[in-house]
Copies of this chain bind each other. A is one copy, B any other.
């Protein structure tokens, strides 16, 4: 395979036309990328927490300055539409600044200062703890968030905040946008006289694999499918020196409507569900995967209303032709399980896709023979199961794979809630009440993750804790003051939240 001559095409999903070609990164050149990254690590560390936060602010400002170019290229390459991409750009810039805020606040270091003393076990030395960046990291960007989970996305923002040089493997669904965003970030770095390896972009699958196996890469962030993520996870684990692989993979998100909720809130639920199932052409990892409705008049009425709304959703282009084709194949395969499943409406021929509505017998959802029904379908897809008792839905929840989210809509004085929530708590990273799982708030306490297959780690890829993926603890024993990182030196007051002799102390406000 002569990958040096491989090309990554930028394709307009609406016309299928090739807009432009970009050279794939020669995998043999990845070692040089990594060396440049290693050579840039010190610059990022020397910037300090506040300096890195300023750098992230600058990235955000530069992306905002280039908004019109970014939206134009992004829409041409993804067909997601300008309004959605405008919102995503705002989110991307918010994330960059938020990770800077996390760095400034400093509690992410988990700083601890324990002076020498005597314990029940005898004398104890002076022990001080902080966290250091792990070194160069590889970030695999997502198809479905060409900005917020891509070159300047949350993985990159949190890694830079931590002090790690980043090599992004740009997604093949939007190479032109990746190049544009990388160029914006490079412009900021050049103005600051940064070394060349702080942020680099690589394109092409072979380059991606070379990144994961390069001995100089310390960790990998990934957002994408279970299949692709698992292959790279296995690669990271099979290295002579294994490295952590933080993969946010697929998710079949359960969505339960209680009988009372169906009675009381049918309209609100049907309208919200339709938007949640089909927004961004259903290409969201938090999209409801199985909707559980009560098998009674309220549930049936809600379903009819939902079907009517879904039938009104106009056909749309998916991110790539391959995704549209896979969407059609998967939904057809599910529909062919009839009578275990019932197709409502029709699955159109393409090139656009319409929402597919499949009603699945809850017994089929739980059957070992129909694993297909418990796998993620990427696209505007509504799978509905009618349940006859809380116990049944509880059992169904336990047969689903672990998920990013679990949602429950309940009604007034609803006493069937607890067992459903308990089943969700045990298998979901986030439990949502009377709302919709799509839309992941960027906050201190967000958790966007879960157990496998939702995620390959217990870490989040959204929110303040995302930075923890790129850090390793380091303890100093009896270190002289001048050797210690600034945050671990004795001062009159703490400047960041610090555990002093076992007691957590926060800075004066």
Q: Cβ of A449 and Cβ of B435 under 8 Å apart? A: no
- Closest chain-B Cβ to A287's Cβ sits at a distance in Å of 16
Residues of B within 8 A of A429 (CB): 472-475
- Closest chain-B Cβ to A120's Cβ sits at a distance in Å of 6
Q: Cβ of A435 and Cβ of B478 under 8 Å apart? A: yes
Q: Cβ of A444 and Cβ of B506 under 8 Å apart? A: no
- Closest chain-B Cβ to A421's Cβ sits at a distance in Å of 6
B-contact bits for A119-135, CB 8 A (1 contact / 0 none): 11100110111001011
A190 at the interface (CB under 8 A from B): no
B-contact bits for A401-429, CB 8 A (1 contact / 0 none): 01000000000000001100100011011
Q: Cβ of B121 and Cβ of A446 under 8 Å apart? A: no
Residues of B within 8 A of A446 (CB): 127, 129, 475
Among A165-221, those with CB < 8 Å from B are 218
Q: Cβ of B120 and Cβ of A452 under 8 Å apart? A: no
As for how many copies of this chain the complex holds, the number is 2
Q: Cβ of A90 and Cβ of B504 under 8 Å apart? A: no
Interface-central residue, A112, A121, A417, A441, by most chain B CB under 10 Å: A441
Task: Say whether, besides A121-B91, A444-B499, A434 and B473 are in contact (CB < 8 Å).
Answer: no
Residues of B within 8 A of A91 (CB): 121
Choose from B472, B475, B480 the contact partner of A451 (Cβ within 8 Å). B472
Tell me the complex Cα distance, A134–B497, Å.
27
Q: Cβ of B114 and Cβ of A428 under 8 Å apart? A: no
Q: Cβ of B433 and Cβ of A480 under 8 Å apart? A: yes
Residues of B within 8 A of A218 (CB): 451
Tell me the complex Cα distance, A453–B506, Å.
36
Q: Cβ of A242 and Cβ of B121 under 8 Å apart? A: no
Q: Cβ of B435 and Cβ of A477 under 8 Å apart? A: yes
Q: Cβ of A483 and Cβ of B418 under 8 Å apart? A: yes
Residues of B within 8 A of A114 (CB): 443-445
Q: Cβ of B121 and Cβ of A453 under 8 Å apart? A: no
Closest chain B residue to A453 by CB distance? Answer: B241
Tell me the complex Cα distance, A429–B134, Å.
12
Choose from B94, B243, B449 the contact partner of A120 (Cβ within 8 Å). B94
Residues of B within 8 A of A477 (CB): 430-433, 435, 441
Tell me the complex Cα distance, A233–B449, Å.
22
Residues of B within 8 A of A435 (CB): 125, 477-478
A161 at the interface (CB under 8 A from B): no
A352 at the interface (CB under 8 A from B): no
Task: Say whether, besides A120-B90, A417-B483, A483-B433, A112 and B445 are in contact (CB < 8 Å).
Answer: yes
Residues of B within 8 A of A234 (CB): 237-238
Task: Say whether, besides A418-B483, A460-B473, A129 and B447 are in contact (CB < 8 Å).
Answer: yes
B-contact bits for A455-498, CB 8 A (1 contact / 0 none): 01110100001000001111111111001000000000000010
A83 at the interface (CB under 8 A from B): no
Residues of B within 8 A of A128 (CB): 445
- Closest chain-B Cβ to A232's Cβ sits at a distance in Å of 12
A502 at the interface (CB under 8 A from B): yes
Closest chain B residue to A101 by CB distance? Answer: B502
Interface-central residue, A242, A244, A457, by most chain B CB under 10 Å: A242
- Closest chain-B Cβ to A397's Cβ sits at a distance in Å of 15
Among A221-262, those with CB < 8 Å from B are 233-234, 237-238, 241-244
The 3 lowest CB-CB distance pairs between A and B, nearest first, are A112-B445, A129-B445, A447-B475
14 A-B pairs whose Cβ atoms sit less than 8 Å apart in the complex: A90-B121, A91-B121, A113-B445, A119-B441, A127-B443, A134-B451, A218-B451, A237-B242, A417-B483, A429-B475, A431-B476, A433-B479, A458-B472, A458-B473
Apart from the given pairs A125-B435, A425-B474, A433-B477, 13 other A-B contacts in the complex at a CB distance below 8 Å: A110-B465, A114-B445, A127-B443, A233-B237, A237-B237, A244-B458, A431-B475, A433-B476, A445-B475, A445-B499, A447-B474, A447-B475, A497-B504
